[in-house]
Amino acid sequence: MPRFENQSVLVTGSGRGIGSAIAHRFAQEGARIQLVARSMDELEQTRSELTPLASEVRAMTLDLVLPGSARQLVDEVARGGSDWTFLSLTLGPPPREDSWSWRTMPGPPDLASRCSRTFVMKHAWPLLKASAGHLVMIGGGTARTPERQLSLVSAVNGGLASLSKSIAEQGIIDGIHVNLVQPGMVRTSRRQKLFEKWSSQEGIAVDGYIERTIRQLRVVRLGEPSDVTEVVAFLCSDQSRWMQGSIVDVDGGQNKSV
């Protein structure tokens, strides 16, 4: 029997990249999926790919930065039943790539809006408590190894890592399984755009830039979204229940600290 058959999964930021890959991973094992993203086109693409796999796929186009959007999403989830057992929160970077660094951001950083998806946790907490569910937060490796060109994202990821510890403490009280995954440099469309931008600034081919980056970071290779999803799936299984408040690096060896 598939591990997640008849279980329900909410994945934020599931239109593309790691979020979409997480949704695919759980659909393959029979879960019911709730998708949410800003882009209707990307969301529809993901839904069409999941429909043959999952017993149920629902999609909602929503910008979680907008006031009241987190409550709207959770209300929609609740209408589908009260047995939601897994919530994946992809915090994600700011929507515009030119605001990822303190040197290039267009105005004062609204960190509250960058962390808007954390409000989904607040409203979904009663559902997770009722089902003794799993909460996997998705941060980023820049929490441990901040990057000069991704300074704002690094700050947000560092804050998310601290937040995950306090949320996990509440999870012990309420019976909710809480952990954080910190992906390293994963080959997504956004990361590819950054590679193209930075390689152009240095006047070298993008493939050469990527190869040089891999050597400089001393990693096995660039990650793929599927590398992250396998860890997330394990953290949503009962076999990992004794992991609580863990911060798991999935980065090919990029983090060298102990």
Report the alpha-carbon angle 150-155-156, nearest 5: 100
pLDDT, tens digit (0-9, with 9 covering 90-100), for 95-116: 445 445 555 555 544 555 555 6
Q: Which of 15, 175, 20 is nearest to 85 (CA)?
A: 175
DSSP, residue by residue, 135-154: EEEE--GGGTS--GGGHHHH
- Amino acid symbol at 174: D
pLDDT, tens digit (0-9, with 9 covering 90-100), for 154-212: 888 888 899 999 999 999 999 999 999 999 999 998 889 989 999 999 999 999 999 99
Query: Would you kindly state where each structural domain of the chain is located, as residue ranges?
Result: 8-186+224-250
CATH number of 8-186+224-250: 3.40.50.720
How is the beta sheet containing 56-61 ordered, strand by strand? 56-61, 32-37, 8-12, 84-90, 134-138, 177-183, 247-250
- Looking at residues 232-237, what average pLDDT do you find? 92
Give the global pTM.
0.88
Most confident of 83-97, 139-153, 231-245: 231-245
Within 20-149, strands assigned E span: 32-37, 56-61, 84-90, 134-138
Whether 181 and 199 have beta carbons less than 8 Å apart is answered as no
Distances (CA, A) of 217 to 104, 145, 187, 194, 212: 24, 11, 15, 16, 9
pLDDT, tens digit (0-9, with 9 covering 90-100), for 112-142: 555 566 788 888 898 889 888 899 999 888 8
Q: Binning pLDDT at 50, 70 and 90, where does residue 242 land?
A: very high
Q: Can you give the pLDDT at residue 99?
A: 47
Q: Give dist(CA 18, CA 59) in Å, integer.
A: 17
Strand partners, 84: 8
